[in-house]
Structure 1
């Protein structure tokens, strides 16, 4: 016999939730017991409430276990109450687990942006279409935020549960109300200013990772930090690198299967690259994969040991790589593919750059300049594809690795795609790494083609440089495509690549000597002192100047390996890309953020950002309104030598009908040429000082107005003050590292002599803004 059970009536009411990622809504259940003769529920006080509701304190499950009172005594807990309590506990605990996890990223709700590329496939395609070809003209600023850093801003903001998370230069983290722009919290890891010397390409940061109720950020000085998503309070911090070595972290972490994946940078110095996986809850190291063999030949006791022993070690000869490990740092591209359960990591250049100095021009030097696939749970090797064997041109393979399902040679394939720095667009089988296509997407003359049978590039005669020879290939060290993310529109089957066209200049350094902790590229230094004109330096520059670098947004058909349309810019260093279901492609060049028709490339909307943007835009939805967000602030490898003044970073957030107008930036203050009559004469060797300047100072101060233009700095007028800064670290808090470990008193005076010579003769020295903030 079936006995019907009469359940209580339950009313759910959302009371409150913690502000921030993964905050569970506190739900109150009003329990009305089944009616029966002779029983009436006791009246409840109108002031009785759920402890902790609307605050971050107290347990939302506490009322379940409180005494049940009635007016004239107490009754035993009824069976229906026990059943109701079970339901309530289940609902409450389920709500507490609201946050970002693998299932939520896989589901990828249209209005969210939960991971660096929005989804695990890194396609940067949003299904949102409220902002579209027809409506984009109504796009305006909804809110904006100003930051305290005026270096490069490269972050992709993430959005979850109504909160927008972003990072700025110097690895600072900020959280905002995604609808109103109200600041919720900020976190400064307080990276020591002198650590900026270890950053080849500016003290940038590309964003955070989200997992459960935490936010994860990597820092310039090599730390991985977990923050409370609601408050920004640190939960744990681990040093992922050897702090005695010139490692950096600029890339965004990735959250995968309860692990936080993080790489590192520093291949120009060089350091030895590796990818690490840390437990998201505790910060414990789960696994690590080294990207080059241990120079000592000893095992690392890492996931990479078997493949290093069986394959990679034999591809390295004797040479300077043994000083610090050969580079191959995975500083940007990390992609998880749920379909194959593999992690794809792109590795940096081999170090030193010169293959002759590095390994005696022998071997392929695995796994530098490679795409490496690893098993997600263990970090064990699965497969690899090397884009530039025995790299000699700084051709990193760290550009975005995107997975997709496309037609290739009339067959459906699940692929990994990359627009590589070397100028070739690669399509690989995601499961086994088989090369399916490789075509030039920008003018390239270092290789004629890629052999699809061997997978190797067919190098052009003269592309490599040896002895006194030089090489001027296209593309140069900035590449045909750098870190700026591309985007894919599956409806159009187009990948939108922020490309560059430029030359490089390479030559072996004579008498190379390894300098621990400094740049060690093995490149011949271009003379820049008084004797430079006699040695032909201006003629070389004039020849390369005939084809100035340019930028290009290319819509690439990956199925047919050809461009569909393109837009060219006078600036080579442009932003990353966003594609949307509204038929739009967002991309910035110079001060202009533009929306293009995804099918044709027709410009549909532009906005003056007042400062150059190099970061990619992202988009999200709150309460039925679509927002588009962009970090603004020039810098990075291509910006440090540029002609744009430093401006404080901004976050611009747009929506349809937005009417806010951010204030104009103040005009940069110019520093006039020095009054050299006040200079203390120098007996230093200006030519020798020029060589030292190029080696130790040129990366930051070599040209443009981005960092202090030393030929116009009063610091060069006297020996004592100059040495206090250069050798003693008087300005290290502002990012000027002390160079006493590299330079002697005589070296410093030679550099000062060179700068005084520049101050007298360099008519192209540009004025710079004063009072730079970190």
Structure 2
């Protein structure tokens, strides 16, 4: 653990504005992932659609230290908190950007394997004078919001457990709740756990899928769920991880859990006789005090496409058919928008927000989808399914504005080819120490989605289940998280490097800011010392440059916290284009057989961060620009000795000398392919240019 030193002036400042208790609910504070009401909405209107043209940068802070940051910040009593890299928590003065303290849990020291599957913290939470953060190695930590010192730490997973935490905690009633991820990389059984805010003592735990029936069930809900599974699902884990969003409902004193996909994806493996496989791809309502099951709504019974329901949930009161209803609104990956009665869990309405092929609609009476049987790729036949596993809506948060009555959804329209693998069905394939799911196979030659992938910002009317307006976004996944305010404003960043304010009612763009890199994290708005601010974190976290509207280079882009206010006068440093050349050694003789070995290793272990075909999108260094692969000793220092672990690069101690040599040959092969394409001036050839700060 590392806490930054505090100077006497900063200590005095901190004492003057330090949080001392519960967050305020009037819009002054933004204490958790969803804001004050889970809607990513601020009731503040000092900044509004009439004066937003005066919005300017109040201050910025560079984020260094390695790793990406897609965190939703929080703000309480004039202090802004955010996480960077592997759950390093920062506290800064919200009016000036002066850093007050930093807490580093140093997860990189103990989480090599898990660093390969999770890219850091998506959010933190504040309550009763403490900031709460989950770590990649499974800890939940409470930090004194005034001093930055650890109050307590508890391990939420078992020894040698392959779970990890990347999602935000949720706080309520003196409790803090956390889930976990990991089901796409190991045989995991999901659960959420509630802890006492003061002591870190475990209060209750709810599993999201049933375990081995021979061991008994934890509660009646698990016994009920087990009747919807077949075969020996527990040997595959089952999945159902609550890795992202939840929502607390104070009116009913319930916590709603967004549950993930099956593990493995392909239902024929984990549950060969079919069944609904509760509570996969569901919203589960639990009693917030006891963790007891209240109701559930399953968006994809027996899912087999990675259509998880871990996306955020908005809570509102809407007038539907002349009657006021307490509703939960949800847009999971599967392409439908759901309005659900919070009291009963019954479906009120559902409609697709993009064209979908896996179902023709949702039957309101039963709440079940009207499935297209061919979408389940039966009999080894390939199926083009819309949406893709990236979903129509993913982790980029949507928001709801009660003034406009609209929900704002970062939306994607893209498909995926599904087919059973060529080899016999199996749950997990071991690759020298790393598991991957092999539940689906590679698409047959020539079978591709039948329309180009697109993305857009969608304004959706949840009462009429209809589109109000849309704005095209740059790239395949071009729209960042959203936040909306009582000033009739909607804020969203995009993959093209702009942070934009729109009119919430009409979508008219009113103001924009060049962030010099992609802006995909969700913004927040709050008041500090009587003034309204808007904060967002900027930085390209894309693994691959394929489909991006412009190139973002890991080495030259600068991750930053950007904070705006009316009449802000700060400015980012000037940037100048800089060539980032592809490196090659003409004397290096490529062995195609070795390059093929390297291509396999890269695809299985490296592409998740360094990009498909070694084309980086900013999440990690472009390895074709690096001299490290030219030197075997340097490769082993990184891969075996882990000299860059603190910067976010995990060790791969299981790689053999043959595999490391294969990577070297693969990188030279790809480098020459890219250089040849550039020399020929081929459209779309990778340019390997970046941005560099000028003096």
Report the TM-score when normalising by structure 2: 0.88
Does the residue aligned with 2:86 lie in a helix, a strand or coil? helix
Instruction: Give the whole-Å Cα distance in 1 for the aligned partners of 2:387 and 2:667.
Output: 31
Instruction: Give the whole-Å Cα distance in 2 for the aligned partners of 1:379 and 1:21.
Output: 32
**For residue 22 of structure 1, what is the aligned residue in structure 2?**
19
User: Of the candidates 420, 423, 435, which is equivalent to residue 508 of structure 1?
Assistant: 420
Instruction: Report the CA distance shift for 1:667/1:328 in structure 2 as closer, same or farther (over 3 A).
Output: farther
**For residue 26 of structure 2, what is the aligned residue in structure 1?**
109
User: Of the candidates 536, 539, 542, which is equivalent to residue 633 of structure 1?
Assistant: 539
The answer to whether residue 484 in structure 2 is matched with residue 568 in structure 1 is: no
Instruction: Report the CA distance shift for 1:354/1:17 in structure 2 as closer, same or farther (over 3 A).
Output: closer
The answer to whether residue 170 in structure 2 is matched with residue 254 in structure 1 is: yes
Is the CA contact 2:552–2:690 (under 8 Å) kept in the aligned structure 1? no
Instruction: Give the whole-Å Cα distance in 2 for the aligned partners of 1:749 and 1:424.
Output: 47
**For residue 291 of structure 1, what is the aligned residue in structure 2?**
208
Q: For residues 297-321 of structure 1, what are the alpha-carbon distances to aligned partners after superposition, in whole Å with 9 as ceiling and x for unaligned?
A: 4247xxx532112x111222225x5
The answer to whether residue 358 in structure 2 is matched with residue 473 in structure 1 is: no
User: Of the candidates 631, 653, 662, which is equivalent to residue 572 of structure 2?
Assistant: 662
The answer to whether residue 238 in structure 2 is matched with residue 339 in structure 1 is: no
Is the CA contact 2:115–2:650 (under 8 Å) kept in the aligned structure 1? no
**For residue 148 of structure 1, what is the aligned residue in structure 2?**
64
**For residue 78 of structure 2, what is the aligned residue in structure 1?**
162
The answer to whether residue 461 in structure 2 is matched with residue 553 in structure 1 is: no
Is the CA contact 1:176–1:184 (under 8 Å) kept in the aligned structure 2? yes
Shift of 1:437: 0.7
Q: For residues 422-455 of structure 1, what are the alpha-carbon distances to aligned partners after superposition, in whole Å with 9 as ceiling and x for unaligned?
A: 1100011101210111100122112110111221
Instruction: Report the CA distance shift for 1:460/1:324 in structure 2 as closer, same or farther (over 3 A).
Output: closer
Shift of 1:165: 1.2
**For residue 6 of structure 2, what is the aligned residue in structure 1?**
none
Shift of 1:385: 0.9
Does the residue aligned with 1:192 lie in a helix, a strand or coil? helix
Instruction: Give the whole-Å Cα distance in 2 for the aligned partners of 1:638 and 1:415.
Output: 38
The answer to whether residue 140 in structure 2 is matched with residue 224 in structure 1 is: yes
The answer to whether residue 281 in structure 2 is matched with residue 281 in structure 1 is: no
Is the CA contact 1:348–1:396 (under 8 Å) kept in the aligned structure 2? yes
Instruction: Report the CA distance shift for 1:687/1:644 in structure 2 as closer, same or farther (over 3 A).
Output: same
Is the CA contact 1:152–1:202 (under 8 Å) kept in the aligned structure 2? no
Does the residue aligned with 1:607 lie in a helix, a strand or coil? strand
Instruction: Give the whole-Å Cα distance in 2 for the aligned partners of 1:648 and 1:16.
Output: 28
Instruction: Report the CA distance shift for 1:394/1:206 in structure 2 as closer, same or farther (over 3 A).
Output: same
Is the CA contact 2:86–2:108 (under 8 Å) kept in the aligned structure 1? no
Shift of 1:472: 2.3
Instruction: Give the whole-Å Cα distance in 2 for the aligned partners of 1:640 and 1:285.
Output: 44
Matching of residues 161-200 of structure 1 within 5 Å: 161-192=77-108, 195=111, 197-198=113-114
Shift of 1:408: 2.2
Shift of 1:382: 0.8
Report the TM-score when normalising by structure 1: 0.79
**For residue 230 of structure 2, what is the aligned residue in structure 1?**
317
Who wins on radius of gyration, i.e. which is larger? 1
Aligned length: 657
* 179-188 or 731-740, larger mean C-alpha shift: 731-740
**For residue 375 of structure 1, what is the aligned residue in structure 2?**
287
* 715-724 or 325-334, larger mean C-alpha shift: 715-724
Does the residue aligned with 2:534 lie in a helix, a strand or coil? strand
Shift of 1:690: 3.4
Instruction: Give the whole-Å Cα distance in 2 for the aligned partners of 1:506 and 1:766.
Output: 32
Instruction: Give the whole-Å Cα distance in 1 for the aligned partners of 2:669 and 2:112.
Output: 27
Instruction: Give the whole-Å Cα distance in 1 for the aligned partners of 2:65 and 2:574.
Output: 17
Matching of residues 38-117 of structure 1 within 5 Å: 99-100=21-22, 104=23, 108-117=25-34
Shift of 1:469: 2.5
Instruction: Give the whole-Å Cα distance in 1 for the aligned partners of 2:649 and 2:38.
Output: 36
The answer to whether residue 241 in structure 2 is matched with residue 329 in structure 1 is: yes
Does the residue aligned with 2:222 lie in a helix, a strand or coil? helix
**For residue 696 of structure 1, what is the aligned residue in structure 2?**
605
Instruction: Give the whole-Å Cα distance in 1 for the aligned partners of 2:138 and 2:99.
Output: 27
**For residue 371 of structure 2, what is the aligned residue in structure 1?**
459
Is the CA contact 2:311–2:331 (under 8 Å) kept in the aligned structure 1? yes
Instruction: Report the CA distance shift for 1:700/1:114 in structure 2 as closer, same or farther (over 3 A).
Output: closer
Instruction: Give the whole-Å Cα distance in 2 for the aligned partners of 1:324 and 1:640.
Output: 33
Shift of 1:417: 0.7
The answer to whether residue 121 in structure 2 is matched with residue 205 in structure 1 is: yes
Shift of 1:18: 2.6
Is the CA contact 1:645–1:768 (under 8 Å) kept in the aligned structure 2? yes
Instruction: Give the whole-Å Cα distance in 1 for the aligned partners of 2:500 and 2:569.
Output: 18
Is the CA contact 2:79–2:91 (under 8 Å) kept in the aligned structure 1? yes
Shift of 1:731: 4.4
* 240-249 or 176-185, larger mean C-alpha shift: 240-249
User: Of the candidates 30, 37, 41, which is equivalent to residue 125 of structure 1?
Assistant: 41
Shift of 1:722: 4.4
* 725-734 or 180-189, larger mean C-alpha shift: 725-734
**For residue 441 of structure 1, what is the aligned residue in structure 2?**
353
Return the structure number with greater strand share.
2
Q: For residues 134-188 of structure 1, what are the alpha-carbon distances to aligned partners after superposition, in whole Å with 9 as ceiling and x for unaligned?
A: 1000000111111114543222222212211111222111111122222111111
User: Of the candidates 499, 502, 507, which is equivalent to residue 601 of structure 1?
Assistant: 507
Does the residue aligned with 1:695 lie in a helix, a strand or coil? helix
Shift of 1:687: 4.2
| Root mean square deviation, CA, Å | 2.9
* 517-526 or 455-464, larger mean C-alpha shift: 517-526
Q: For residues 707-728 of structure 1, what are the alpha-carbon distances to aligned partners after superposition, in whole Å with 9 as ceiling and x for unaligned?
A: 2344554444466654564456
Shift of 1:669: 5.7
Q: For residues 739-762 of structure 1, what are the alpha-carbon distances to aligned partners after superposition, in whole Å with 9 as ceiling and x for unaligned?
A: 344x55555555555444434445
**For residue 267 of structure 1, what is the aligned residue in structure 2?**
183
Instruction: Report the CA distance shift for 1:491/1:197 in structure 2 as closer, same or farther (over 3 A).
Output: same
Instruction: Give the whole-Å Cα distance in 2 for the aligned partners of 1:639 and 1:577.
Output: 23
Instruction: Give the whole-Å Cα distance in 2 for the aligned partners of 1:614 and 1:469.
Output: 36
Instruction: Give the whole-Å Cα distance in 1 for the aligned partners of 2:578 and 2:379.
Output: 45
Does the residue aligned with 2:151 lie in a helix, a strand or coil? strand
